[in-house]
Amino acid sequence: MIIGWREYIKNRFKTASQFHSVGIMIGLKGIQISSLKKVQGELRWVQQHFINIENWQVELKTYVEKEKLGNTKCHVVLAITKYKILHIDKPAVAEVEIIDALQWNVKEQLATDEQLVIDYFEPPASTNSTPQINVVALTESEIIHIRNGILKAGLQLENIGIEELIICNLCAYSDHAVILLKQQQDGQLSLNIIKQNQLYFSRRLKGYESIGSLSAEELAMGIADNLSLEIQRSMDYFESQMRQAPIKQVYIAIDSLHQEALAELIKNVVYVPVEKFVPYVLAEDNISVLPASFASLAAAIHTPQLAT
């Protein structure tokens, strides 16, 4: 599932675009843009760009006009620093009434009186006998600000998603569960367990914000061991509490020059293959395949079967 907020997505443009899609990741410091084209029937990553968060609406409009991206379908993803996920018992009401039933509970947990836009997704597996849902809420004003910025730039806004779900689009489909460790530069490190392109489990690990700037020697001085223990705990929880088959692979997507060294250190503790994550997509030769672009790329790929 992808967080939809479709009541805010109304405008549709009819002029054809030479691009297949645009993915935009909105973070605290800026927005990352990835553009795709279809080349001989296959999706190809052809452009990437970064815009500082200050005055991003004006800068995005300028970029869209310069690159002739107007009327291209656009999928927006919020970086994990922009939202929280609340784990809540599923209200015992009809499906069409769930959003309304969540309003007061979510406002109380977030300690806000602002008007919220709420959406939710259900985990593929649960440890609780009571059905639970994962809820994401943003202020209405922020959603309108994002919508207006995208539409004024001349893009065709399709949906607004969250990073932890969107990133599943980058993984090759597999019946075996994998762990993807992902971090935007200087941001929180997220641990995601993905199986069959679905998010089964997600944790945000504190204390690793600077891991991307550490040398190989510094990684070996305890932080890699601590991270390995966090991974092992998540693997054990997935297998014993969620009653799932063991994890077969760990991938790392961190803005660091020493991903290979970190992978080797982790592998020595968790005893499963650990390697740098490479997105399952074709890319032009001039594209720098770096973790900072992965969320926007995943949004641009946008697998329809995950949409609400």
3-state secondary structure the chain: CCCCCHHHCCCCCCCCCCCCEEEEEECCCEEEEEEEEEECCEEEEEEEEEEECCCHHHHHHHHHHHHCCCCCEEEEEECHHHCCEEEEECCCCCHHHHHHHHHHHHHHHHCCCCCEEEEEECCCCCCCCCCEEEEEEEEHHHHHHHHHHHHHCCCEEEEEEEHHHHHHHHCCCCCCCEEEEEECCCCCEEEEEEECCEEEEEEEECCCCCHHHCCHHHHHHHHHHHHHHHHHHHHHHHHHCCCCCCCCEEEEEECCCCHHHHHHHHHHHHCCCEEECCCCCEECCCCCCCHHHHHHHHHHHCCHHHCC
pLDDT of 68 over the 90 cut: yes
- Examine the domain organization and report whether 167 and 285 are in the same domain: yes
Structural domain count, the chain: 2
Find the mean pLDDT for residues 228-247: 95
Banded model confidence at residue 186, pLDDT cuts 50, 70, 90: low
Co-location of 36 and 146 in the same domain: yes
Mean pLDDT of 132-141: 92
The boundaries of the domain holding residue 222 are 172-277
| Co-location of 136 and 189 in the same domain | no
Span 186-214, mean pLDDT? 90
My answer on whether 49 and 117 are in the same domain is: yes
221 plus 152 within the same structural domain: no
Statement to judge: residues 259 and 300 lie in one domain: no
Residue 182 and residue 120 in one domain = no
What's the whole-model pTM score?
Answer: 0.88
The CATH number that applies at residue 287 is 3.30.420.380
Same domain, 245 and 178: yes
The reply to whether 108 and 257 lie within a common domain is no
Q: What is the pLDDT of residues 36-56, one digit of tens each?
A: 999 888 899 999 999 999 999
Res 144: pLDDT: 96
pLDDT tens track for 284-301: 988 988 899 999 999 999
